[in-house]
Structure 1
Amino acid sequence: MKSDLATVIQAMVTDENEKAFFVQKNGQTYQLPKAENTSELTIGSVVKGFVYENSSKRKMMTLDIPQVNQDHYGWVRVTEVRKDLGVFVDIGLPDKDIVVSLDELPTITSLWPKKGNQLYTTLIMDKKDRMWATLAEDSRIKALSHRATEYELNKDKKATVFRLKLAGTQLITEDGFICFLHPSERFYEPTLGEQLSVRVIGVKPDGTLNVSARPRAHEAISDDAQMILMMLKNSPTHIMPYGDKSSPEAIKEAFGISKGQFKRALGSLLKARQIEQIDGCISMTETALAQAAEEERTAQERAQQELIDSQEVTESE
């Protein structure tokens, strides 16, 4: 007999204690906590709820039916990352998060979803009656979307990554447009489920969008700012003893630019939260350092994976 776990059922209340009602269907008993809205229930009542096995292996029912179940897809938030297992997501159960298996996640672990990322999933049950979350296929994402028109050009969007490919990143915007982000239009490779701020730079014949995560020309970090940031990255401490109070001569000697250029570059880096000024020194922010480390790690893992792939092709030939 097929298990009812991870589905919405109707069951009869057969017993109760101080903390819970007990409901039955098909010979299975589920515990329904009285902490839920159960004030009108009595023995013999028929109740509708979602049934599952909690983290303590107890069979439970909740009246707060999750948006995500075996019949429905939905966006869920990542709550924990386990490199040996996968990522846990919150589907709305009071005492259990559900795992997306590592088998479904990118080969490069630095591109795995991070805590707080959003994934579009449904639920499945394996042969051992264990409940898993599984990522939606592209066709399901497409069903959420609609065709874009030229009206969307140059608009700013919030978009969530749903697929990672060598050719680029696929996203869907909050207002339902599927997007493609080419590697040349981003500063780093985003993680699965990450939300990005993007700008529409093209509308394709199929109604999908080309987008960029880079700033507009007037917002872009200047060459001077890029040069200062690169010098900070290459510094062993990521700190340099210069600031807006430094003399023009010291700035010219260290950076080869005028003090006016230096101050404008600092302003753009401060606005972009790439640096901070403390006690007459400039240093990279924790966010900028983390981003740089992530870019380096991703590049190394990508290179390693491409080497493995090329070796496998050679061996197959």
Structure 2
Amino acid sequence: MGSMLLVPALPCAMDDIMSSHLDSFLAILFADISQSTKLYEKYGNAQALKIVSGTLGLLKKQVDRHYGAVIKTIGDEIMCSFVDPDRAVVAACAMQEAVRGHPKLSAMNISVRIGVHVGEVIFQGNDLFGDAVNVASRAVDLAGAEQIITTGATIGLMSEDLGLKNRSIGLIKVKGKRSTMEFFEIVWRDDPMDMTLIATDTFNISNVPGGTLKLTFKGKTVELNAKKPMAYMGRGEQNDLQVVRPFVSKRHASLELNEGKFVLTDHSVNGIHINMGERKNVFLHKDSIVLTDHGVMSLGRGFDKSDAQVVHFSIT
């Protein structure tokens, strides 16, 4: 897809803008490596550092290719700027494709998550500050592995000629803003298997304070709340809660905080079996359900099967 979305070079280079020392209206992009701490645990410090550096280097090449500027590197994350949203979003798609198409990185299940927002920024030395930076940072926090998250403002300024699809992930609170903002996922993949997530009903996420959903599996706990309104479960390492079994899909299910309710959506081949209060052995397949109180769920297998992997959940 990246080769189809090249944007022509602009006569005004990023270096000219950076050297002008003026406030500007730019597209800000954050990209970071998903769950990079696992790399250090798995491969050791030296090898993990090489993997992180190599991945960031691959991302920086796409920034250069699409006439952007790398502002800084923060651990496993890069911050970039572009003169318009088209270039930022096309570069984001190219980054995802580059990582996914790299044989070694793909074999190690390396993935990145990206956030983009367009707005006013302030230059201080070689760094950028301002509302656009803060919102773009929030966008990358909302993104899951292999996702590109942006804002309604960015979507509104993008050229229709790009032909990129998007889906709303809802209205979400951003620190420092009185009102919520609508965020969107950019659909960059052509693989039909990856479209399962897009095909399900979309819920408006409202960052209602209070209320936490806890998911526990084999000693690991994942929490959903106003600060983290989305999470994923599945076989792939990129998921927030990983359940490694052959009958579990790579991206098996998603959970979203929707108007104060926790919504579980199945995207898998084999579905989810749920026991929740008086509701026993509910089978969820390509559909959504509101979780209440506490209970258990089994991904891809019935509770009566000896190899069922039970995930416990509770809402407080």
TM-score under structure 2 length normalisation: 0.29
TM-score under structure 1 length normalisation: 0.29
Higher radius of gyration, 1 or 2: 1
